[in-house]
Amino acid sequence: MSIGSLIATGFSTVLTPTGIFLMFVGVAVGIVFGALPGLSATMAIALFLPVTYAMASADAMTLLMALFIGAISGGLISAILLRIPGTPSSVATCFDGHPLVAKGQAAKALGVGVVFSFLGTIFSTILLMFLSPQIAKVAINFGPYEFFSIAIFSLTMIATLSSGNMVKGIIAGVVGFMFSTVGTDSIESVQRFTFNSTDLKGGFDMLAVMVGLFAVGEIIAAAETSHHKNEEVVTQPSMKGIKGFGFTMKEFWSQGWNAVRSAFIGMGIGILPGIGGGTSNMLAYTVAKNSDKHPEEFGTGRIDGVVASETANNATIGGAMVPLLTLGIPGDTTTAMLLGALTLHNLTPGPLLFENQAPVVYGIFAAMLISSVIMLFMEFFGLRVFVKLLSIPKYILLPCIFVLCTIGAYNLKNNMSQVIACILFGLIGFAFKKFEIPSTPFILGFILGPLAEQNYRRGLMRTSGNFVPFLTSPISAVFLGIALVVILLAATKPLRQKRKAARQAAK
């Protein structure tokens, strides 16, 4: 099939009455989750997974993609109006977004944020549509060596880059990997660490682990601060005398280069595992600031700052979908959730998905495009409603979310075993927070661990115990090489900093 007809198939899969309804719901709920500080895109998808159990796979993915796009963009509302980023993806939006509000230009700040969120998503989705089939074509020839190396590469990137402390990052990854070894081994079909319990035979369920770690852990952590008084004052933006999206065409065109550059930064960072929207918005902001003629004006309310941050974080969505769909490798926790969703619907992400399930894949692309259009209008015209929702107190919200988590976990096996697992992982998530261990490497260790292990063992069985082919297969060698360099760079960082300090002191 030509790409044109595939795209047409995609749109026709999504543009059904159910599909359109699901996208509206998904985008609206996503924006709320993004806007409320403490709730994230990952949590939105986790909570809505049980809703999708009974749906057709195309409908399910449509809903989840709409949630994803809404949630990443929704963060800008609280970033601009409250100066609290709704999600880590919109941290840099606060820097210039809030000063604009202080200057009385709230509508302009929001308008710019919404429009460039939209453009960022569209840009990255279109790139994704043309890039991923090509990557899938290459990846279809990958064997155990390549998959092992890509898994190890991704794990290394995540463990070293996702936190300030490399040792803790790697520990989190290794512990996650260890949890994945519980259950029946798929090569030798023997029991590992099951202690003869039938509930453990199938291993820990990916969704129970993620819901526990991110949602339940978050709720327990919120219990600590829920008694503290922090009244947030929400400024209702004045819409009087605002035409269109609150900014002029001249202002729009002046952001052209900034937006394109930020979109490429966001897309590139999204493709790389381990560094998601949380980093891309900061990086794009810094680049925009440093390449500007008046960097000192940043932070005082320049729309350039909002444009850079919001274009980049939404462009990261398209980027993050590339390794997920083509290789089955999630780069962050949100895409890990989506991987869980795909598996739940018997879709195995990877190069074969493009051959076997092309309508679903192109349906996902179409859902991303249409959802961003819905997001554009909903966020702008429904803004007042979303701002109202920001004032729902957390002590009501969190218990309700916990109930939804419980339903989701219960429905995995229709018994209590996964609910109990969910709470246990919630405790682990809380302990991780207290000991400052990042939880993203844990999740990816848990997901990528089996991929690394099985391909390692299959590879060795193929070569009767010889490891050399892992190093001589070119693609595998490149990935392992980069992983090694990343580890060495991260490990010697303190040493290099010391030397630099010594040199500066000598001067």
Partner 1 sequence: MSKQKLSFQKCKDLILGCVLLALSIAYTILARQIKTRPKMVPSYANSQIIPTLLGILLAILSVCLIVQGIRKLKADGDVESKKMSRVDLLSIVLTFAAMCVYILILPTLGFMLSTMIFLFAQITILAPKEKRNYLLFAIIAVVFTIIVFIAFRIGLSQMLPRGPLEALVGY
Which CB, 157 or 423, lies closer to partner 1? 423
Which CB, 377 or 395, lies closer to partner 1? 395
Q: Which residues neighbour 135 within 8 Å (Cβ) at sequence distance 6 or greater?
A: 322, 326, 327
Beta bridge partners of 184: 191
Task: Compute the CA torsion angle 374, 379, 380, 382 (nearest 10 deg).
Answer: 100
Please report how many Cα atoms fall inside a 13 Å half-sphere around the Cα of residue 207, on the Cβ side. Answer: 28
Which CB, 285 or 456, lies closer to partner 1? 456
Nearest Cα to Cα of residue 303 among 105, 437, 481:
105
Which CB, 13 or 418, lies closer to partner 1? 418
Which CB, 88 or 450, lies closer to partner 1? 450
Give the H/E segment covering residue 191.
strand 191-192
Which CB, 261 or 458, lies closer to partner 1? 458
Which CB, 216 or 383, lies closer to partner 1? 216
Q: Which amino acid, 185?
A: D
Give the H/E segment covering residue 192.
strand 191-192
**Minimum CB–partner distance for residue 324 and partner 1 (Å):** 24
Which CB, 217 or 301, lies closer to partner 1? 217
**Minimum CB–partner distance for residue 178 and partner 1 (Å):** 5
Which CB, 379 or 453, lies closer to partner 1? 453
**Minimum CB–partner distance for residue 452 and partner 1 (Å):** 8
Q: Is beta strand 191-192 parallel, antiparallel or unpaired with respect to 183-184?
A: antiparallel
**Minimum CB–partner distance for residue 63 and partner 1 (Å):** 12
The first and second tokens of residue 154, run together, are 């991704």
**Minimum CB–partner distance for residue 161 and partner 1 (Å):** 17
3-state helix, strand, coil in the chain (%, to 5): 75, 0, 25
Interface with partner 1 (CB under 8 A): 50-51, 53-54, 167-168, 170-171, 174-175, 177-178, 181, 185, 187-188, 190-193, 216, 219-220, 222-227, 229, 393-396, 398-400, 402-404, 406-407, 410-411, 414, 416, 419-420, 423, 426-427, 430, 435-437, 453, 456-458, 460-461, 464-465
**Minimum CB–partner distance for residue 376 and partner 1 (Å):** 28
**Minimum CB–partner distance for residue 495 and partner 1 (Å):** 15
- Cα separations in angstroms, 455 against 146, 186, 421, 429, 470: 9, 11, 28, 29, 10
Nearest Cα to Cα of residue 453 among 192, 127, 77, 115:
192
**Minimum CB–partner distance for residue 487 and partner 1 (Å):** 13
Q: Do the Cβ atoms of 37 and 86 come closer than 8 Å? A: yes
**Minimum CB–partner distance for residue 31 and partner 1 (Å):** 20
- What are the b/e assignments for 461-495, b being 16+ CB within 10 Å? eeeeeeeebbeebebbbebbeebeebbeebeeeee
Phi, psi of 189 (to 5 degrees): 45, 55
Phi, psi of 191 (to 5 degrees): -80, 135
For residues 313 and 315, what is the distance between their CA atoms, to the nearest angstrom? 5
